[in-house]
């Protein structure tokens, strides 16, 4: 299989609320919008990937799905998001594998893992 592009699809319970969260609270840039003007879908940039919000789902978020977002400074983002009223599920801490992680939730309860790669971590030194 030759994968040409990929994205994560979320069907939020309240599309307007989720769009505001991802665009304004997290500050993700919009890649494109599509569909009817009164109920548009939106695709956000996620570094080297994409996140699409489209449609609507009435069921609660499943506990197994997580978004992994690498940021430059986890502690700073955690503080900023906490001040914006975002639910922090777990405060920033260094994991046994060396990454610094904080966990937050989107308005539907989807877990978002904010990750910082320390300067001395092997991911930064990998010669590939």
Q: What is the phi/psi pair of residue 13, to 5°?
A: -70, -35
- 30 touches 44 (CB < 8 A): yes
Q: At the topology level of CATH, where does 1-58 sit? A: 2,3-Dihydroxybiphenyl 1,2-Dioxygenase; domain 1 (3.10.180)
pLDDT of residue 4: 63
- 125 touches 29 (CB < 8 A): no
- 115 touches 103 (CB < 8 A): no
Q: What is the phi/psi pair of residue 15, to 5°?
A: -55, -40
Domain ranges of the chain: 1-58, 60-128
Sequential pLDDT tens for the chain (128 residues): 776 678 999 999 999 999 999 999 999 999 999 998 888 899 999 988 999 999 888 877 666 788 999 999 999 999 999 999 999 999 999 999 899 999 999 999 999 999 999 988 887 776 65
Q: Which CATH class is domain 60-128?
A: alpha beta
pLDDT of residue 72: 92
Per CATH, 1-58 and 60-128 having the same topology is answered no
């Amino acid at each position: 299989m030759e994968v040409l592009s990929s994205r994560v699809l979320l069907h939020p319970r309240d599309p307007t609320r989720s769009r505001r969260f991802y665009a304004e609270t997290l500050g993700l840039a919009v890649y494109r919008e599509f569909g009817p003007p009164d109920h548009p879908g939106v695709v956000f940039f996620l570094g080297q990937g994409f996140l699409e919000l489209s449609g609507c789902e009435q069921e609660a978020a499943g506990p197994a799905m997580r978004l992994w977002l690498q940021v430059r400074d986890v502690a700073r983002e955690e503080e900023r998001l906490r001040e914006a009223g975002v639910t922090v599920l777990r405060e920033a801490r260094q994991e046994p594998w060396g990454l610094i992680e904080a966990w937050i939730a989107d308005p539907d309860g989807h877990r978002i893992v904010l990750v910082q790669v320390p300067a001395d971590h092997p991911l930064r030194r990998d010669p590939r």
